[in-house]
Structure 1
Amino acid sequence: LLGIPVIKDSTGMSQHNAVIKLLDEWEVTDNVVGMVFDTTASNTGRWKGCATSIEFTLDRAVLWLACRHHMYELHVKHVAALSTLLPSHYLLDYRELLELTVLFLGGTVYPFKFRKSVAHQHARFMAYSIYFLKMQLMSQRLNMTDDEAGKVKRMSTFIAVFHSRAFLRSRISSIAPSMDLKYLTDMNIYAKEDAEASAVAIKSVSNHLWYLTEEAVVF
């Protein structure tokens, strides 16, 4: 840890300036071989992204070790946009997603109880998955119209069968590339069941195919 700089905003250039300043102060600029970052526009933007700008300043390419979690968060967000039943801002965790997925698929979780959703100041993409699964598991007790029930079942099936496994395993770098390709293959197969949802997911995946680059093959 070289430092914890305070920056005026979260733009790519502000982040770039802070990182380069620290590298220069510690005289380790020539030792940089890779960057770890979330895939927000402020990091990966073509012209003003932090990662892009750092490479430009270094005048050489470095390994981009981008977080794949964000990619799968966007996939489910885009598919969920087909429905309009979700509130935003929930504090959620990975264990709850796993437990709800197992229950939806007919498995057993012991001990288990539904957790109360807690308001949070930042939107959490995992809320899409957990909220839909909870609604489906409690659908017999909820007063939903036929249209709402159909949307909930549609999303819950997509999440439990495809999204949860891919999202929860996306942090394992050794299998991440193969998981990305399998997810894309699964979406093409899923088109036979739900062409609209499949098309939205494939479009989201296609926006992130730069993850599968020759530079990242060693990982």
Structure 2
Amino acid sequence: MKGTNEPCGTIIARLTCKLLQGWCCTDQVVNMAFDTTASNTGHLTAACIAIQLSLGRPLLWSGCRHHIGEVLLTCHIFTDLKVETSRSPDVTLFTRLRDNWDLVSHKERSPLSRYIPDEAEPPFLGKLRAELIACTAGVLDYKRGDYREFVQLCLVYLGADGAAHTPVTFQRPGALHKARWMAKLLYTLKLALMEQHIALLPHGTITTRQQVRKIRTFANFITHIYATWWLTCDTAVDAAWNDLTLYHNLYAYKSVDERIAASAIKALERHLWYLTGEMLPLALFSTKVPVGERRALADAILEQRPADLPMRAPQLRFGTGFGKPKFPTLSPTTSLADLANPDCWFGMHQLHIDPVFLSLAVEDWAASEAFQMGAVNVRAINVVNDCAERGVKLTSDFVAAARSEEHLQNVLQAVEHDRSKQPNLRRCKCKLDHN
């Protein structure tokens, strides 16, 4: 920042602690949710370490799961596939799609290029498709905007029942810059679905021959591996199970595309925030984790019980107890119980989880008062920072119009209220009938 030699993390920590003191909630903070950038997670002067130093006690670390998904998909897989090699701020492939949008015949009755399994397809892909279709049935009603469009495109691409006989509403491409990472999901699926329509245009108008194959590869990965994880990633109690399941699915996907699976595994291994011992107790409260897995995890945590309780500081961190948690090493046979370590008890202490229910049968946990109180605490953990990002965007848009902090807060609330009441008139729509 201008006018100071202080590290950015120190400045952020000072301002954060000042806000916490003003809100009178310093003692209630137990967890930090953040984008996993070096300025937040570095080992020396990053914001997460500086905040803990200012508070004088260690906190839990929760990497934003949406940011993890962005890094996994766009910074590694999309880049390693070399779908787009341009270094411009915009993805030129998507720019050509937008510029030539009206050249694609939206009135043709030729079918969309959906995914069609062949005889050589590994059986687990069919299982993954079924899981995604079942998952979308529970989330489609409350998704909106880009997320809702993403769900609909996945269903159409996979030829889900009902979706295969319904006209598809395609929104005209809007923002295409590389920072808008959802564009890679939406426009890749559109390009894959419209492959036969685009093929009627002169070669290179939108896609090249090499890009067609890479787009199809990327779309297959999105719909079979990535989409289910993405649609369920914002639930804290399911985070550990979802990440471990994703790792196992990626390992199995090597039989389909070893290159893309290896790229994804490499990225995921850098973001195992929720498979550390500190965060592992959250999985005890997940209904997605099978009963046998939860029982084994509870037994493993009990076996790792340290001599001195309560455990007020973690052991497996870089540097001091304020450093970044050390990530575990995974294998194709790793279970949640294999990841238990003494730091589980630090996480339970932070979240005020009474361990008395661990010795009970899993079927009896729901009736335990200790389990019920623990469930309330862990479900309050925030594992995405979308609200903070929306606040930053609003602030950057309207800070120049504010004459004081109070005035700025009033402006932001008024704008947010107005946007929630107005329909999205930014983009027109078109339909492709693929019966």
Give the structure-2-normalised TM-score: 0.45
**Selected match of 2:69 from 67, 72, 78:** 72
Percent identity over paired residues: 34
Q: Report if the CA contact (8 A) 1:73-1:167 is conserved.
A: no
Output one character per residue of 1:68-108: Cα deviation in whole Å (capped at 9) or x when no partner. 11111111111111223344799x61111111111111123
Could you tell me how far apart the structure 1 residues matched to 2:23 and 2:155 are? 48
1:108-119 matches, cutoff 5 A: 108-109=162-163, 110=166, 112-119=168-175
Deviation (angstroms), 1:49? 2.1
Give the count of matched residue pairs: 210
1:5 match: none
Could you tell me how far apart the structure 2 residues matched to 1:138 and 1:11 are? 46
2:273 match: 210
Deviation (angstroms), 1:146? 2.9
**Selected match of 1:16 from 10, 13, 16:** 13
* 1:188 to 1:218, Cα distance in 2 relative to 1, 3 A: same
2:35 match: 38
Q: Report if the CA contact (8 A) 1:104-1:133 is conserved.
A: yes
Could you tell me how far apart the structure 1 residues matched to 2:180 and 2:11 are? 24
Deviation (angstroms), 1:33? 1.8
Could you tell me how far apart the structure 2 residues matched to 1:218 and 1:152 are? 39
Output one character per residue of 1:100-150: Cα deviation in whole Å (capped at 9) or x when no partner. 111111123456300112127781222211111110000011144332211
**Selected match of 2:155 from 90, 102, 106:** 102
Larger Rg: 2
Q: CA RMSD in A?
A: 2.5
**Selected match of 1:196 from 248, 256, 259:** 259
Q: Report if the CA contact (8 A) 1:100-1:130 is conserved.
A: yes
* 1:36 to 1:98, Cα distance in 2 relative to 1, 3 A: same
Q: Report if the CA contact (8 A) 1:34-1:64 is conserved.
A: yes
Amino acid aligned to 2:254: A
2:186 match: 130
* 1:129 to 1:121, Cα distance in 2 relative to 1, 3 A: closer
Deviation (angstroms), 1:216? 1.3
Deviation (angstroms), 1:67? 1.9
2:234 match: 171
Q: Per chain length, whose mean CA-contact separation is higher, i.e. which structure has more relative contact order (CA < 8 Å, sep 6+)?
A: 2
**Selected match of 1:57 from 54, 57, 69:** 54
Task: Could you tell me which runs of 5 or more consecutive residues in structure 1 were left unpaired when the two chains were aligned.
Answer: 1-7
Give the structure-1-normalised TM-score: 0.85
2:218 match: 155
Deviation (angstroms), 1:206? 0.6
